[in-house]
């Protein structure tokens, strides 16, 4: 309503904001959003609203774009007023993308206000960017990628000998998809039952025959993204997610000495109305070494047995597959890209080099992934699904659904909660005091001294029951 009012008056009235009946003072001057930032945000918002991977040629003069850009400029000014008043302690937002939320994140960063991004991938997760910890990256997500990588190196990798047993437990749980993020598919198709390399080889022949692929050739799986989702909110080396997939498919069409399995996103229908994936599948239907399939129709057992190399931009397969010995190349950044789990391309030239090198290595019968990358990936699973997931009945685990059960759990806990014993309160206080980029269940920098400390020589034998 406030945006509509400002647009209707065409800026003739001075912007005034009231919070809880208190009119905010005239804000101090903070840097305004740049035209380039506003353009990127507007295009990303329209792509998501229209369910398209990219806007059509001439989009900069399109009335829909111009109207959305005007709305974005007003909304950005409102956020500037709110954060520039000096009263904002933090900006708490469930999303950090598009105009509704993303412009607020950008304004908070310009104003030096901490941004907290809670997530419901278990009980309570939250990433936080404090202004004094910023490293000069261009987006909220890129800043976090750097900071998470540094914290992982210092607080997790440096403690790997103490954390191996915990990581093994979480890696076992992840095979059964326990603790999965709420948007992941569940059921038997999502359970990984393979326990060793022999079982993987036995299922591989069946998987290759099912898709008409040569079982003696390496198989590269390319995981398409939700092509309209959160464009340019982290580092990406292609113009957009659709360009990356199209160019990778074109590369696959002339790289015939390996199998290619091209997979859509499990929620493709919610992010694309253009049949982007289907059109590409039809265009390359005559290529016998390339198979296009809906990912939701393939079990994890089949996929993990067949794939020798995964390729993505920022997909979660780039942290999960390496945990079970399958290398992954990334054409962009995710929150774990600085943690040493995957092969992250620095630019397009590096991306094609990584693909060529990995394929040559597979054809030579040598491993692409290192034991260190496998261990780092398993430690990431522990870090993501356990250490940074704060368990509390104040924020019941999403799997407590349906809603009546979740709300009953919350009501019962609210009748018993005490501020000095509630994990959420202490976790938030610790994060704020230490200016940490994430919530944790306990202080990661002080791992219990009585944890079992493994000898370095045990690293290669730490996970015999889950190696595939």
If asked whether residues 213 and 313 sit together in one domain, one would say: yes
Residue at which a domain ends, from 378, 404, 435: 378
Residue at which a domain ends, from 86, 113, 140: 113
Residue 161 falls inside a structural domain:
no
Query: Residues 6 or more apart from 369 whose CB is under 8 A from it?
Result: 322, 325, 326, 327
If asked whether residues 225 and 310 sit together in one domain, one would say: yes
Nearest residue to 445 via CA among 456, 435, 459:
435
Q: Is the peptide bond between 456 and the residue preceding it cis, with omega within 30 degrees of 0?
A: no
What CATH number corresponds to the domain at position 338?
A: 3.40.50.2000
pLDDT of residue 290: 97
Query: Residues 6 or more apart from 366 whose CB is under 8 A from it?
Result: none
204-234: per-residue pLDDT in tens?
Answer: 999 999 999 999 999 999 999 999 999 999 9
Residue at which a domain ends, from 378, 409, 437: 378
E strands along 47-197, which residues? 91-92, 115-119, 125-129
pLDDT of residue 346: 97
The secondary structure of residue 463, as a DSSP letter, is -
Cβ-in-10-Å burial (0-12, 13-18, 19+) of 11 comes to: exposed
Residue 398 falls inside a structural domain:
no
Residue 302 falls inside a structural domain:
yes
Task: Please give the angle made by the CA atoms of 146, 152 and 153, to the nearest 5 degrees.
Answer: 95
pLDDT of residue 460: 41
If asked whether residues 101 and 223 sit together in one domain, one would say: no
Q: Which residues in the chain land under pLDDT 70?
A: 1, 5, 10-14, 19-20, 178-189, 419, 446-468
Residue 96 falls inside a structural domain:
yes
Domain that holds residue 319: 183-378
If asked whether residues 203 and 336 sit together in one domain, one would say: yes
Q: In the beta sheet, which residues pair with residue 329?
A: 311, 343
Residue 291 falls inside a structural domain:
yes
pLDDT of residue 187: 59
Cβ-in-10-Å burial (0-12, 13-18, 19+) of 369 comes to: buried
> How many structural domains are present in the chain?
2
If asked whether residues 63 and 193 sit together in one domain, one would say: no
């Amino acid at each position: 309503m406030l945006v509509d009012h400002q647009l209707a008056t065409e800026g003739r009235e001075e912007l005034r904001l009231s919070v809880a009946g208190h009119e905010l003072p005239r804000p101090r001057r903070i840097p305004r959003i740049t035209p380039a930032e506003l353009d990127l945000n507007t295009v990303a918002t329209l792509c998501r609203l229209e369910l398209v991977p990219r806007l059509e040629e001439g989009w900069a003069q399109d009335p829909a774009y111009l109207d959305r850009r005007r709305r974005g400029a007003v909304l950005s000014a409102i956020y500037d007023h709110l954060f520039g008043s000096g009263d904002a302690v933090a900006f708490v937002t469930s999303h950090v993308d598009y105009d509704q939320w993303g412009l607020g994140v950008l304004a908070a960063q310009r104003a030096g206000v901490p941004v907290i991004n809670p997530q419901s991938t278990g009980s309570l997760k939250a990433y936080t960017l404090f202004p004094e910890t910023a490293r000069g990256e261009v987006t909220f997500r890129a800043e976090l990628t750097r900071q998470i990588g540094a914290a992982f190196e210092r607080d997790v990798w440096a403690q790997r000998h103490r954390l191996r047993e915990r990581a093994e437990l979480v890696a076992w749980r992840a095979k059964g998809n326990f603790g999965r993020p709420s948007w992941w598919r569940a059921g038997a198709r999502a359970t990984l039952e393979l326990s060793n390399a022999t079982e993987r080889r036995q299922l591989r022949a069946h998987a290759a025959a099912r898709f008409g692929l040569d079982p003696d050739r390496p198989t590269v799986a390319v995981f398409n993204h939700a092509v309209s989702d959160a464009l340019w909110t982290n580092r990406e080396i292609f113009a957009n997610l659709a360009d990356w997939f199209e160019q990778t498919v074109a590369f696959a069409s002339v790289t015939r000495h390996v199998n290619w399995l091209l997979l859509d996103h499990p929620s493709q229908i919610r992010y694309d109305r253009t049949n982007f994936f289907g059109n590409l599948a039809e265009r390359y239907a005559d290529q016998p070494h390339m198979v296009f399939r809906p990912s939701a129709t393939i079990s994890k057992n089949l996929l993990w047995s067949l794939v020798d190399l995964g390729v993505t931009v920022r997909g979660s397969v780039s942290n999960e597959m390496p945990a079970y010995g399958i290398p992954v190349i990334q054409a962009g950044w995710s929150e774990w890209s600085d943690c040493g789990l995957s092969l992250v391309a620095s630019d397009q030239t590096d991306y094609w080099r990584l693909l060529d090198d990995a394929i040559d290595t597979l054809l030579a019968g040598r491993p692409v992934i290192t034991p260190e990358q496998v261990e780092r990936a398993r430690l990431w699973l522990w870090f993501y699904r356990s250490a940074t997931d704060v368990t509390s009945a104040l924020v019941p685990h999403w799997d407590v659904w349906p809603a009546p059960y979740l709300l009953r759990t919350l009501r019962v806990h609210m009748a018993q909660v005490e501020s000095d014993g509630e994990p959420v309160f202490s976790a938030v206080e610790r994060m704020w005091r230490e200016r940490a980029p994430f919530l944790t269940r306990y202080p990661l920098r002080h791992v219990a001294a009585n944890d079992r400390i493994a000898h370095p020589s045990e690293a290669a034998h730490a996970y015999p029951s889950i190696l595939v």
